[in-house]
Structure 1
Amino acid sequence: MTPGRAPVGVLIKRVDPDVPLPQYAHPGDAGADLRTTESRVLEPGERAVLPTGVCIALPEGYAAFVHPRSGLAARCGVALVNAPGTVDAGYRGEIKVIVVNLDPRESVRFERFDRIAQLVVQQVEKVSFQEVAELPDSARAAGGFGSTGGHSAVGGTTGGNRYASVVSDREGQ
C-alpha cells in the first residue's frame, strides 16, 4: 500500500466456509497468499487445477494476477502453467490455480489449506489500438528472445550469440 492512500476495496466470497481469506505475510508484500481447499499429490510432470475456495469482485480498472510462490518453486519444483493467471474485474467465479510438478523424480503433496500461489491486485489501463502501416523506430527495434545476451550460453552480457558462432565454427571443420 502506498503511504497516505487507502487500500483498494475488493469484495470476497468464500466458496469453502473454512478457507482462510487471502493474507499478506509481511508488511509491504505485493501478493496475498492463496490456499488450496483440497489435498492432492502431483507426480513428476503432472499438473492439476487446484481450487482456492474464494471468489472476488474487483473494481473496474483493476485486475488480479495469480503468481507462483518462490518457495514452492525452489524447494519442490512447483510452477504455475499460465503464470501469471489473470482474474478480470468482471469474473465472479472461484479462483483456481493451475499447478505443475516440474521435479523429474519426486512427487509433491498438497494438503488442504496449503499456500499455493499469490494474488497481486493491480490497476490496469484500457487502451485504444490504432492500426498503422509502420511503427516508429526505437533503440531496441524488434530485438527480443535473448537479444541482449546475459547468459553464458549466449555470449554473457555482451549481447552476442556465442552458440551460433560455435555452431558455425564446427560446421566449417
Structure 2
Amino acid sequence: MNTLKIKKLHPDAIVPTRAHKTDAGLDLYANESVPVTNGTKISTGIAVDIPEGFEGTIRPRSGLTSKTRLRVQLGTIDAGYNGEVKVIVDYGNDVNFDEEKMEILKMYHKIRKGDKIAQLVISPIVTPKPIVVEDFDSESARGANGFGSTGR
C-alpha cells in the first residue's frame, strides 16, 4: 500500500501529515474548537478509504500526552468505514474540588481548530476464523498466569 485516499468532508479540513517521512503515524488535526472533558469526540473533517486487509489505529501523540492531561482514546478504523474520522478524548484523571463552594469543578482543556490532536497509523491485519477447541496444541511456561504474575 503506497497511497491512502483522503476525502475532505469540510473545505477547511487539514489533510493528515507526517513531520518526518519515516514517521509511522499521520498527524490528525481538529476541525473544530471545542472544550474537552471526558468522552469528547473531536471532528477531523476527513474520511479515509482504508483498503481491505488493513486497519487504521487512532493513537495519542506522545508530545501532547506528556505536556497536558489530555488523553486520546485508542480507536480503530476498519476497512469499509468511509464516515468522518473522529477522535475520542478525555481530560484529567483526578478531581478538582472547590472547598469554598463544596462542589466538584468541571475540568476541561480547550482544543482549537487546526491543533494536532492524534495520529493515524495504518497497519496490515490478519482475520483468522475463530474455532472452539477443548485444549490447545501446546502449553506455555506462563500458562494461565495473568495480570501481574511476572512481577512477583
Q: TM-score range by the shorter chain?
A: 0.7 to 0.9
Q: Give the total of aligned pairs.
A: 140
Distance 2:146 2:64 in 1: 29
Tell me the equivalent position of 2:118: 117
Residues 57, 76 of structure 2: 8 Å contact kept: yes
Tell me the equivalent position of 1:66: 58
Deviations 1:110-150 (A, max 9, x none): 1001011000000111202221101231122112222222x
Secondary structure of the 1:13 match is strand
Provide TM-score, normalisation by structure 2.
0.85
Residues 70, 92 of structure 2: 8 Å contact kept: yes
Matches within 5 A, 1:107-146: 107-135=108-136, 136-146=138-148
Distance 2:46 2:124 in 1: 21
Higher helix share: 1
Deviations 1:38-67 (A, max 9, x none): 101225xx3300011110111110110000
Pairing 1:20–2:22 present: no
Larger Rg: 1
Tell me whether 135-144 or 123-132 shows the greater mean CA deviation: 135-144
Distance 1:143 1:17 in 2: 52
Residues 78, 103 of structure 1: 8 Å contact kept: no
Provide TM-score, normalisation by structure 1.
0.75
Structure 1 unpaired stretches of 5+: 1-6, 150-159, 161-173
Task: Pick one of 29, 35, 49 that aligns with 1:57.
Answer: 49
Residues 61, 124 of structure 1: 8 Å contact kept: yes
CA RMSD of aligned residues (A): 1.6
User: How much does 1:79 deviate?
Assistant: 1.0
Structure 2 unpaired stretches of 5+: 97-106
Distance 2:35 2:44 in 1: 16
Task: Pick one of 56, 70, 87 that aligns with 2:77.
Answer: 87
Deviations 1:148-170 (A, max 9, x none): 22xxxxxxxxxx1xxxxxxxxxx
Tell me whether 14-23 or 118-127 shows the greater mean CA deviation: 14-23
Distance 1:103 1:127 in 2: 37
